[in-house]
């Protein structure tokens, strides 16, 4: 694991420029974690970032180079043993025990105390595939809602046909 430090003193921009293309991430959720841009990458391989302060425990899967700051924890799995996306899903369901005295924060020794279930890599990939599909349906409005609408339409047609399929008695 690595922990984000200070903002790079040189080559830092608040907006992406031709010179500074690499995102700088801090503790935060979604777009709020993006702090700015640099031309220096500290992390160059797939990893899971975990917010250590503020939004404690919030995690993101990152597969593009970036620069972590402000105590953002970066879990860099051994790719031969652990799929980074699988790790993200495990961390999402983890309730970290954070001290309530002083400034609430998560540290790498605290994260290191947790054990994880480690099935074979192929099984991890299967689990990730399934969870990614659910995640897409739940969080991607352009894909999830049409699929939901289609399912509701089929359900409606089924019940409509059941309800309206009766024998007519002649009088």
Tokens 């690499």 label which residue? 22
Kindly state whether residues 104 and 157 are assigned to the same domain: no
Kindly state whether residues 46 and 106 are assigned to the same domain: yes
* Ramachandran category for residue 111: left, alpha or beta (phi over 0 → left; psi -120 to 50 → alpha): alpha
In this structure, is residue 154 part of a structural domain? Answer: yes
Tell me 2's DSSP state. Answer: E
Concatenated DSSP letters for 53-73? SSSTT-EEEE-S-BEEBTT-E
Kindly state whether residues 63 and 39 are assigned to the same domain: yes
Tokens representing residue 33 in the block = 């974690």
Name the domain boundary from 115, 132, 147: 115
Kindly state whether residues 66 and 125 are assigned to the same domain: no
Which structural domain, as residue segments, surrounds residue 45? 2-115
Query: Between β-strands 67-68 and 22-25, what pairing exists: parallel, antiparallel or unpaired?
Result: parallel
Tokens representing residue 17 in the block = 């420029």
- Angstrom distance (rounded) from CA 93 to CA 49: 14
Kindly state whether residues 109 and 125 are assigned to the same domain: no
163: pLDDT strictly greater than 80: no
Interval 74-121: pLDDT, tens: 999 999 999 999 999 989 888 888 887 888 888 888 888 888 888 899
The pTM for the full model equals 0.76
| Terminal C-alpha separation, the chain | 81
In this structure, is residue 169 part of a structural domain? Answer: no
Report how many domains make up the chain: 2
Residue percentage of the chain with pLDDT more than 70: 87
In this structure, is residue 104 part of a structural domain? Answer: yes
């Amino acid at each position: 694991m690595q922990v984000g430090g200070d903002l790079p003193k040189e080559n830092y921009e608040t907006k992406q420029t031709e010179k500074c293309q690499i995102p700088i991430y801090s503790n935060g959720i979604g777009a709020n974690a993006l702090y700015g841009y640099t031309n220096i990458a500290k992390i160059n391989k797939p990893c899971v970032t975990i917010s250590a302060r503020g939004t404690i425990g919030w995690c993101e899967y990152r597969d593009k180079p970036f620069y972590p700051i402000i105590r953002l924890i970066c879990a860099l799995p051994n790719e031969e043993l652990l799929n980074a996306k699988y790790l993200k899903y495990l961390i999402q369901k983890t309730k970290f025990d954070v001290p309530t005295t002083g400034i609430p924060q998560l540290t790498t020794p605290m994260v290191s105390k947790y054990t994880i279930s480690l099935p074979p890599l192929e099984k991890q990939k299967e689990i990730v595939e399934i969870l990614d599909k659910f995640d897409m349906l739940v969080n991607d409005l352009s894909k999830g809602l049409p699929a939901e609408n289609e399912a509701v339409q089929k359900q409606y047609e089924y019940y409509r046909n059941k309800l309206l399929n009766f024998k007519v008695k002649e009088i």
